[in-house]
Amino acid sequence: MFTHSIRRRLVIGSAALTATALALAGCGRSSDSPDAGSQATTTVSQGPATGNLTVWAMGTEGENLPKLMEQFKQANPGVNVTVTPIPWDAAHSKFTTAITANTLPDAAMVGTTWMGEFADLGALDPTPQGFDNSGFYPGALDTTKVGGTQYGVPWYVETRLVFYRKDLAAKAGFSTPPTDWDGLKAMAKAMKDKAGAKYGINLQPGGTGSWQTVMPFAWSAGANITGDDEKSFTFDTPEMQEGLKYYQSFFTDKLAGTDLPPNQTEAQFVNGQVPMFISGPWMAGSVAKAGGDAIKPNIGVFQLPKNKTATSFVGGSDFVVFKSSKNKDSAWKLVKWLSDAKTQASWFKMSSDLPAVKSAWQDPSIASDPLLPVFGKQLDDAKAPPAIVNWEQIAAQFDTEVEKMTKAGQSPADTAKAIQTKATQIGAGGS
């Protein structure tokens, strides 16, 4: 019912909405336009949080957050928190219209790829002093930084690993997972030749979101999306080409297929047709749902293989306070409480969202899990694209060019060049 393409249409549509609204208003929204309290909060006062706070959170997080808020209210008896859950499908539209009409809540969970846009619209309050930023995973912390200023904090994280069928890997002669690029390739080949798989590994042949799987290889080869200024693009480099070439080689060697039906990753993993894929922590649950208890002991994960580095993608969500909030001091207290290691661990138990705070991973509920510690290790080397306003548009072009490369045999050099040209045409955006 709500497919990826519809979601994308909504996102693109809402971007158009905002643009139109700004045009109709006759003036761009300057960074200090929200009327209430345009002064940035620099420090958070001592003492408990008070007053009313409204908070937006998406999907399951929005459903579960009220439970966590009970604990916050116990610690801060004078505060009243109202959580509004927002559907993921159109959350971006909801935020952009709310920014335009100045009907934002005090604080909210925000997708990491939206940070650049919202900060550019002048909606976010810069993070005050007194946060222990070194406690966060560095890749996650980077998602809160736009043009050198930090907005909000990372709240929860996810990263991508290689999932594999342990039983079939043993059959293919890989009792220990590979650690470098050649090893991953050899393993995919052995899965196909010796373990009876149709394809060795399930890689997305382009299309929406495929950059999240392709970019880790490019990053591992030393590529970057932008220069240090976060304005000019560096897609057309030998490093980027190397990453693209490696990705393409899985398709040219028939180790990954372009003819697989979409949304069947779990099913094909369970029936052994395609016994490897690269994805995030939620897939462990999805695979278990599709395959039942029998599959659980056979789910294995390992870190992305190494070239120059072994870098993965970091996603998740940040927690921000909006400039327009009339109760910013208490809102920041809430954010601070949320990024406390103890809160992060109890939030994991409620939501199974992985903590952005490193020390929370020592909680036994995470440390004793068979798969999760591997994600924790990968998070030490995980990156997100820079927080540039037009990222979603550029990512869409990236996905299209990757599709041409995997399906129509466009060369990695031409692909890199095409992405660079299109990204430069679109521009990083922002003021």
Partner 1 sequence: MRRTWWIYLIGVLGLVAVAAPFLWMVLGSFKTQGELLRVPPTWWPQDATTQNYDDLFSKASFPRYFVNSALVALVVTAGNLTFCSMIGYALAKLRFKGRNALFIVVMATLMIPGMVTFVPLFVLVTNAGLANSYPGLILPFLVSPFGVFLMRQFFLGLPDDLMDAGRVDGSGELGIFARIMLPLTRPALATLGILTFLGSWNNFLWPLVIAQTEDKYTLPVALALYSTGQNAQNYGLLMAGAVVVVLPVLVMFLAFQRHVTKGIAITGLK
- Smallest gap from Cβ 198 to partner 1, in A, equals 12
- Smallest gap from Cβ 401 to partner 1, in A, equals 24
Q: For partner 1, give the closer residue by CB, 89 or 340.
A: 89
Q: Which of residues 290-329 bind partner 1 (CB under 8 A)?
A: 290-292, 317
Q: For partner 1, give the closer residue by CB, 283 or 416.
A: 283
- Smallest gap from Cβ 277 to partner 1, in A, equals 13
- 233-266 b/e with 16+ CB inside 10 Å = b? bbbbbebbbbbbbbbbebbeeebbbeebeeeebb
Amino acid identity, residue 348?
F
Among 33, 40, 51, 89, binds partner 1 (CB under 8 A): 89
User: Do the beta carbons of residue 279 and residue 160 sit within 8 Å?
Assistant: yes
Residues contacting partner 1: total by CB under 8 A: 51
Q: Is 204 in the site for partner 1 (CB under 8 A)?
A: no
- Smallest gap from Cβ 381 to partner 1, in A, equals 21
Among 41, 64, 100, 311, binds partner 1 (CB under 8 A): 100
- Smallest gap from Cβ 398 to partner 1, in A, equals 19
- 309-337 b/e with 16+ CB inside 10 Å = b? ebbbbbbbbbbbbbbbbebbbbbbbbbbb
| Only segment of 8-16, 146-154, 223-231, 247-255 that touches partner 1 (CB under 8 A) | 8-16
Q: Which of residues 17-56 bind partner 1 (CB under 8 A)?
A: 17-18, 20-21, 24, 54
Cβ within 8 Å of residue 399, ≥6 positions away: 206, 207, 208, 209, 210, 211
> Which pair of structure tokens corresponds to residue 204?
């997305």
Rounded Cα distance between 96 and 15, Å, is 8
| Residues 234-273 as x/- pattern, contact with partner 1 by CB under 8 A | ---------------------------x-xx-xxx--x--
At 170, is the secondary structure helix, strand, or coil? helix
Q: Is 206 in the site for partner 1 (CB under 8 A)?
A: no
> Which pair of structure tokens corresponds to residue 410?
């466009």
**Helices and strands, counts by H and E, the chain:** 17, 12
Among 86, 110, 203, 244, binds partner 1 (CB under 8 A): 86
**Where is 301: in which H helix or E strand?**
strand 299-302
User: Do the beta carbons of residue 401 and residue 419 sit within 8 Å?
Assistant: yes
Spacing of C-alpha 233 from chain mean position: 20
- Smallest gap from Cβ 407 to partner 1, in A, equals 22
Q: Where are the beta strands (DSSP E) in 31-128?
A: 51-58, 79-86, 107-111
- Smallest gap from Cβ 237 to partner 1, in A, equals 30
Interface with partner 1 by CB under 8 A: which residues? 1-2, 10, 13, 16-18, 20-21, 24, 54, 58-60, 62-63, 82, 84-90, 93-94, 97-98, 100-103, 111, 158, 261, 263-264, 266-268, 271, 280, 282-283, 285-286, 289-292, 317
